[in-house]
Structure 1
Amino acid sequence: MVVKEEGPSGFQQLLGYRLTEWTEGQAVLELDMDHKHTNRAGVLHGGVLATLIDTACGFAATFCPLPGRVRRVVTLSLTTNFTGQARHGTLRAVAKKTGGGSRIVFCQADVVDEHGKLIASGQGSFRYRSGSEHPEGVAL
C-alpha cells in the first residue's frame, strides 16, 4: 500500500519498508531484510527496528480516509525494547493508537520476524501538526 497522493518518502525508499495495512488507529509496515539493514555482527541494526516502530506508530495516529488530504505528527518521545535478533526474512511492525487528546497522541508497536517471534517493541508520544488533530486532516 502506498499513500497514493504522496508516494514513498525518501527514507522509505532508502530502507525499503512498505505500508501494508492502514485503518483508523492501526498500521502495519513490512520490510524484507537485506544486507543493508544489518550491523557489523550481521544481524538487523537496532536503528532499523526503531525506525519501523516510530513510522508504524506515526501511521497509526494519522489515518485519514479522505482523498487528497493527510494528517501528520512529529515524534515527541520514543522508547524501544529489543527482545530478539533477525538475520533475514520479512519483518512486520504492527502499531496501534493507545490514547491521547486533541494534540498529543500515544501509540505502541511490536515488530515480529517471519515466524511471528517478537524481536522489538516500543511506544511513543506524538504531537499532531497544525490541522492534523482533526480527522479530516489538511489538504496535500
Structure 2
Amino acid sequence: MSEDSLHIRGGQDLPGFHNLLGYHQLSWEENEAVIGLELQPCHLNLGGVIHGGVLTSLLDIAMAEAGTYCPYPGRIRKAITLSLTTTFTGQCSGGTIRVTGRRRAGGTRIFNSTGEVHDDKGNLLAIAEGTFRIRSGSEKPEGVPI
C-alpha cells in the first residue's frame, strides 16, 4: 500500500463525512482493509457509548475498501453500497476501535464483503455484511486518478 493511499483514504485530505469521522487507515491490501478510530465525545450517543451510525459508517467504508484496493500511487478505485446490514453486539465509550472489512465473493462489478468492529480489549462491538458495486471507470486494478 502506498503512503498516498493511506493519506488520501484515511487522512485530513478526505472530503466531507470521511474527514468528519476522523478515522485512520491501519492497513489495506487486496480483499482486506482495516481502519481505526480513537473515540471522541462526538462519536458517542446520548447514552455515552459509541453511536450505531458511527459503527455502521466505518463498517461501510472498510467493507467497500476491501473490494476496491488500488496499488497504483495517485489513483483510486470507487464503489457504491447496494445493501448493508449491521448487527450490534457490544458497547464501548472510549479507547480505539478497529474495523476490518473483508471481500468474500463477487465478480468484476458486484462484490460482497463482511466486517467486524472490535474495541481495544478485543471485544466484538458489531458485525456487518454488504453488497457493493464498483463505480464506472474503477473496474480495472489501476482505477482512476484521485
Q: TM-score, normalised by structure 2?
A: 0.90
| In structure 1, distance between residues paired with 2:144 and 2:44 | 37
The Cα RMSD (Å) is: 1.4
Structure 1 runs not aligned, ≥5 long: none
Number of equivalences: 139
Percent sequence identity over aligned pairs = 47
- The Cα of 1:102 is off from its aligned counterpart by 1.2
- The Cα of 1:33 is off from its aligned counterpart by 0.5
**Secondary structure at the residue paired with 1:43?**
coil
Q: Indicate whether 1:72 and 2:78 are aligned.
A: yes
Letter in 1 for 2:107: G
- The Cα of 1:71 is off from its aligned counterpart by 0.5
| In structure 2, distance between residues paired with 1:2 and 1:27 | 14
Aligned partner of 2:139 in structure 1 is 133
Q: TM-score, normalised by structure 1?
A: 0.94
Q: Indicate whether 1:114 and 2:120 are aligned.
A: yes
| In structure 2, distance between residues paired with 1:33 and 1:2 | 20
**Aligned residue among 2, 9, 17 for 2:7:** 2
Q: Indicate whether 1:25 and 2:31 are aligned.
A: yes
Aligned partner of 2:46 in structure 1 is 40
Aligned partner of 1:123 in structure 2 is 129
Aligned partner of 2:95 in structure 1 is 89
More helix, by proportion: 2
> Structure 1 runs of 4+ off > 3 angstroms?
none
CA contact (8 A) 1:12 1:18 kept: no
